[in-house]
């Protein structure tokens, strides 16, 4: 049977790539260390497959076709068409077996995901994988969650998705090691009059609620505080999915870098998954 062996979360944002050195040498060294630690923890879990939960930034979908959740079930996934994103990799193997099982498990449990046989992985997926320094990526099962255009999935529904993913992993018959990476968040505002504003108080309180096993309080906090932390803060939904997949245990902040030059309160975390 398959087994969950790792759960991780990381912020993403175009300026992490486009303005990598624009934050000054001291802060650059600090965030580089954080990415390296995230990469080490990921390597240590020795995952055979990586589920990546991320939004789509108008690369695969637009307002004429905008699913709440889409699972990539293809044999492979394409790299980003974002010309400014210069990466050492451009094509990514999928794991159609696990992905299809996840989709079938979802449908049997009254979830209604969309499916794609060839998703393009944009900067939301790729910047964390790139900066983590993982030389050889395992097959990827991408899950796109709509955090771009309302109506958005509720935090409660995202939590249920995490439980569903864990159920699908535990019921998959192949003996493989599976990890999950949630990307996005934390506080930031993009394309709004207050673009560049961060809410460090929100970010830090988020961490404290994820550390707790008090799910109702976490849900209440996110419902009442997230919108005011910037439109990009909606991406914390992906963290909720990973949190639930990891059974809400062992949340550990690897690093927090509220860099206004990147327009994001950058957070990085992992969950302790029982071996």
Catalogue all structural domains in the chain, each as residue range(s) with its CATH number: 3-271 (3.40.830.10)
pTM of the model: 0.96
- Cα 163 from chain centroid (whole Å): 16
CA angle (81 as vertex; 80, 84 as ends), nearest 5? 90
Round to whole Å and give the CA distance between 204 and 121: 29
Q: Which of 21, 9, 54, 8 is nearest to 259 (CA)?
A: 21
Round to whole Å and give the CA distance between 70 and 89: 23
Above 90 in pLDDT, residue 178?
yes
Round to whole Å and give the CA distance between 247 and 124: 24
Round to whole Å and give the CA distance between 11 and 263: 11
Name the pLDDT band for 228 (thresholds 50, 70, 90).
Answer: very high
Name the pLDDT band for 219 (thresholds 50, 70, 90).
Answer: very high
Q: What is the mean pLDDT of residues 18-33?
A: 94
Residues forming beta bridges with residue 53, ordered by sequence position: 143, 182
- Each residue of 137-168: pLDDT tens digit? 999 999 999 999 999 999 999 999 999 999 99
Q: What is the mean pLDDT of residues 219-224?
A: 97
Task: Give the whole-number percent of the chain exceeding pLDDT 90.
Answer: 83
Where are the alpha helices (H) located in the chain, listed in sequence order?
Answer: 14-18, 25-45, 96-108, 123-131, 155-171, 200-211, 215-225, 236-245
Mutual orientation of helices 155-171 and 96-108 as an angle, nearest 10°?
A: 120
pLDDT at 274: 76
Task: Please say whether the beta carbons of 254 and 269 come within 8 A.
Answer: yes
């Amino acid at each position: 049977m398959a087994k969950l062996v790792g759960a991780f979360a990381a912020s993403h944002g175009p300026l992490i790539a486009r303005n990598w050195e624009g934050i000054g040498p001291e802060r650059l060294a600090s965030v580089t260390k954080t990415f390296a630690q995230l990469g080490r923890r990921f390597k240590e879990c020795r995952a055979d497959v990586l589920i990546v939960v991320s939004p789509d930034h108008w690369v695969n979908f637009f307002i004429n076709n905008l699913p709440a959740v889409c699972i990539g079930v293809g044999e492979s996934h394409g790299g980003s068409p974002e010309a400014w994103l210069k990466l050492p990799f451009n094509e990514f193997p999928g794991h159609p077996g696990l992905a299809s099982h996840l989709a079938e498990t979802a449908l049997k449990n009254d979830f209604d995901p969309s499916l794609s046989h060839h998703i393009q992985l944009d900067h939301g997926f790729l910047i964390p994988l790139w900066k983590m320094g993982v030389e050889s990526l395992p097959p990827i099962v991408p899950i796109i969650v709509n955090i771009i255009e309302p109506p958005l999935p509720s935090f409660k529904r995202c939590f249920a998705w995490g439980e569903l993913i864990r159920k699908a992993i535990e019921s998959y018959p192949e003996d493989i090691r599976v990890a999950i990476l949630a990307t996005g968040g934390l506080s930031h505002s993009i394309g709004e009059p207050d673009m560049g504003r961060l809410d460090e108080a929100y970010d830090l309180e988020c961490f404290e609620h994820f550390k707790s096993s008090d799910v109702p309080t976490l849900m209440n906090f996110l419902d009442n505080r997230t919108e005011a932390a910037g439109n990009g803060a909606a991406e914390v939904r992906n963290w909720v999915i990973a949190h639930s997949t990891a059974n809400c245990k062992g949340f550990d902040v690897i690093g927090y870098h509220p860099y206004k030059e990147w327009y994001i309160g950058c957070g990085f975390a992992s969950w302790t998954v029982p071996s």
